[in-house]
Structure formats: structure tokens, C-alpha cells
């Protein structure tokens, strides 16, 4: 039984949101490649491309933050599986503690990332590079990605409390050669 069948329609809607964010992340990486290639062509042509390094940096930060929630639910984040496995029958409590702390930390990050966007817009803050871009515009994807990460952690915490397991799809290497405890087969 897959995750969609187990958790119903709300599960699918959240997963689609995370998938859309991952697609935006991929688009940011492609755009970053375009900026870097344009920067190289500009240098070879002796043409100036002001702010190209800043734009590449903005796109890299956007790509990273937009991919965090999707990566979490796909098991791509570094986890403490070895330590959780060592807890044996107390693994649930270890996962509960980890997801609780992660949810609080991600919520803190999301709150202050959104607050940063708000203050940058209110103050009219612009970048110090040659591009003079309004910073709230380039900070917005970071705040959105941080909010999605907080949502992903909260979703996994609630799933753990309701169903006894989170929604994270395990890394295949996590399964090979290591017995999975009853109730934690993913």
C-alpha cells in the first residue's frame, strides 16, 4: 500500500505541493546554469553583465530552500537512522523527539525568514552588488522553502503521532542488510 492510499487526499495535496516546489528548485538550477553561461559569453565578448554573480547566488539559495521539503520526504536528508535503530523498542520516542525538535527549529527558521522578507520590503532594502535588486524579491523563495520545510516536519510529526510512523520514504541503502523493526517497515 503506497502513501497516497494510506493517508488519503490531504496527503496527496501536500505531496503535490512539495513536488511543485522541487520542480521550481530544478527550474532555479537551470536558470542558474543559464546565468553562468551568459556570464561566460559576456566575458568572452568583452561585454559587462552586472550582477551576474549575485543572480547566480540568489538562484542557488532559492534552489536549495525550495528543495528541502521534497528532499526530506524522499529520505534524502541526513538522518540518524543508526542511532534510532540502536534505540530498539524505544525508537518511536527517539523519532518523536527528533521530529519535535526539527519542527520547532524549522518553524523558527520559517518565521524569521518571512519576517526578513517583510522588513526588507518595508525598508526598501536593495542588494549591495551592481544589480541593486530589491532584496525581498530574492528572499521570498527562501522564506517559502523554509515554510514548506516546517510544514513537512509538522506533517511527519503528526503522521508519527497518528500512525506510528512518519511519511519519509527510506533510502534504499537503509533497508539493505539491516533488519527493519516491526511497525517501521517503510
Establish if 63 belongs to a structural domain.
yes
Indicate the number of domains in the chain: 1
Establish if 48 belongs to a structural domain.
yes
- 9: domain range? 3-168
Q: What is the longest distance spanned by two Cα atoms in the chain?
A: 66
Residues 6+ apart with CB under 8 A from 178: 85
Question: pTM for the whole thing?
Answer: 0.79
Establish if 174 belongs to a structural domain.
no
Establish if 44 belongs to a structural domain.
yes
Sequence length of the chain is: 186
Establish if 185 belongs to a structural domain.
no
pLDDT at 84: 76
pLDDT digits (tens, 9 = 90+) for 26-45: 999 999 999 999 999 999 99
Establish if 179 belongs to a structural domain.
no
Establish if 26 belongs to a structural domain.
yes
pLDDT digits (tens, 9 = 90+) for 102-146: 999 999 999 999 999 999 999 999 888 777 888 899 899 999 999
pLDDT digits (tens, 9 = 90+) for 78-109: 776 777 778 888 888 988 998 999 999 999 99
Q: Residue 124: left (phi > 0), alpha (psi -120 to 50), or beta?
A: left
Establish if 177 belongs to a structural domain.
no
Amino acid at each position: 500500500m503506497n502513501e497516497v492510499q494510506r493517508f488519503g487526499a490531504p496527503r496527496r495535496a501536500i505531496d503535490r505541493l512539495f513536488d511543485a516546489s522541487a520542480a521550481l528548485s530544478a527550474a532555479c538550477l537551470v536558470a542558474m546554469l543559464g546565468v553562468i553561461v551568459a556570464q561566460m559569453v559576456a566575458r568572452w565578448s568583452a561585454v559587462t553583465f552586472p550582477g551576474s554573480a549575485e543572480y547566480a547566488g540568489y538562484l542557488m539559495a532559492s534552489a536549495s530552500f525550495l528543495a528541502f521539503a521534497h528532499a526530506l520526504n524522499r529520505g534524502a536528508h541526513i538522518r540518524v537512522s543508526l542511532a534510532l535503530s540502536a534505540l530498539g523498542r524505544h525508537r518511536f520516542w527517539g523519532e518523536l523527539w527528533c521530529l519535535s525538535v526539527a519542527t520547532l527549529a524549522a518553524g523558527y527558521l520559517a518565521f524569521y525568514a518571512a519576517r526578513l522578507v517583510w522588513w526588507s520590503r518595508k525598508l526598501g532594502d536593495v542588494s549591495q552588488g551592481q544589480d541593486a535588486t530589491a532584496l525581498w524579491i530574492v528572499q521570498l523563495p527562501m522564506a517559502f522553502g523554509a515554510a514548506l520545510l516546517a510544514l513537512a516536519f509538522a506533517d511527519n510529526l503528526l503522521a508519527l503521532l497518528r500512525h506510528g510512523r512518519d511519511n519519509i520514504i527510506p533510502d534504499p541503502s537503509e533497508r539493505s542488510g539491516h533488519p527493519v523493526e516491526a511497525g517501521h517497515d517503510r
